[in-house]
Copies of this chain bind each other. A is one copy, B any other.
Amino acid sequence: MSIRFAVLGAGRIGQVHAKAVSSVQGAILVAVADPVESAAQHICDSYGCDIRTIDTILASADVDAVIICTPTDTHADLIERFVKSGKAVFCEKPVDLDVKRARKVVETVAAEKGQLMVGFQRRFDPDFMALKKAIDDGVIGEVEMVTLTSRDPGAPPADYIKRSGGIFRDMTIHDFDVARWLLGEEVATVQAAASVLTDPAIKGLGDYDSVNVILTTKTGKQCTITNTRRATYGYDQRIEVHGSKGSVSAENHRQSRIEVANADGYTRPPLLDFFMNRYTAAYANEIAAFVAAVANNTPTPTTGLDGLKALELADAALASVATGQTIRLS
């Protein structure tokens, strides 16, 4: 029997997930909710489903699972309400910008024995999965040092930055999750540096645009994260993992695989410059994994705890910048 879905929030990422649900075997899109009717209508037109309010969906017996793509400040409440109603929940990161609130959500989900998967799509990117598999297969021996490079083509609008919780909670949070995934053990200490180099307006918003972070685990494994909000050559997303027997890395995705040679040299196209086409396959795989977990009633591959842990790392990075201290996680 197919899992029946509703998508809450029909914005950019809601559209992506609606499409994923529609193309995954074993999942049916039943309803969508969004105060902006044209957005909701667009999903209905594309994939065929009802428009309902969130409250109606909460009460809908024909909805087994929801995908929360609403604004961040609604995530925690919605997760709790839907988990309590017995529905499986997929929620875009973050659970909440406040660690305490996020922790409470995780506790609630546990108490309810609910299913909560948090949207860290990078874990489902085919190349990153191949990299992880190589590690798990022992190809590089014991993981020692992880190097993550994430650079956005450009900064989001000021309005977005204001509500984002800052670069560590909005952008680096993906790297924090990838770091935990690849290090294979929890982070013990965090050191971070942060500057504003691309646009002074970002300073005015109390945020940074260029950051480097060092994570160290209890056994001494290390991870560095390099982020910037401006890369002229596209959306730069690289992973390199160094181990006792070797190293494994994943290349970027270019706009095409051609190369032009002339008197100026050999030129390959810039990178894909938008997270949505860079991670198209990842988003689809992610939803497929959620569908499988709900269908089989197995643990979701990412959980609220993953969301919480990544958020704690973001807070630690901020504290390191503020205090000039290496922050030790409890």
Binding site for B on A (CB under 8 A): 126-127, 130-131, 134, 139-140, 142, 144-145, 147, 149, 151, 189, 191-193, 195-198, 210-212, 214, 216, 219-222, 224, 226, 228, 230-233, 242, 244-270, 320, 324-326, 328
Contacts and interface: CB of A to CB of B under 8 A. Distances in A.
Protomer copies:
4
A256 B248 CA distance: 12
Contacts of A242: 151, 228, 231
16 contacts: A130-B256, A189-B193, A192-B214, A195-B219, A198-B244, A210-B220, A214-B224, A228-B242, A233-B261, A251-B259, A253-B257, A261-B270, A266-B270, A267-B268, A324-B325, A324-B326
Nearest to A246: B262
A221 B197 contact: yes
Contact of A228 (B130, B144, B256, B326): B144
A266 B189 contact: no
Contact of A247 (B139, B196, B231, B244): B231
Given A142-B197, A230-B244, A232-B263, 17 more contacts: A130-B257, A131-B258, A140-B260, A140-B262, A145-B228, A191-B193, A212-B224, A214-B224, A233-B261, A233-B263, A246-B260, A246-B261, A247-B260, A248-B260, A253-B257, A254-B266, A324-B326
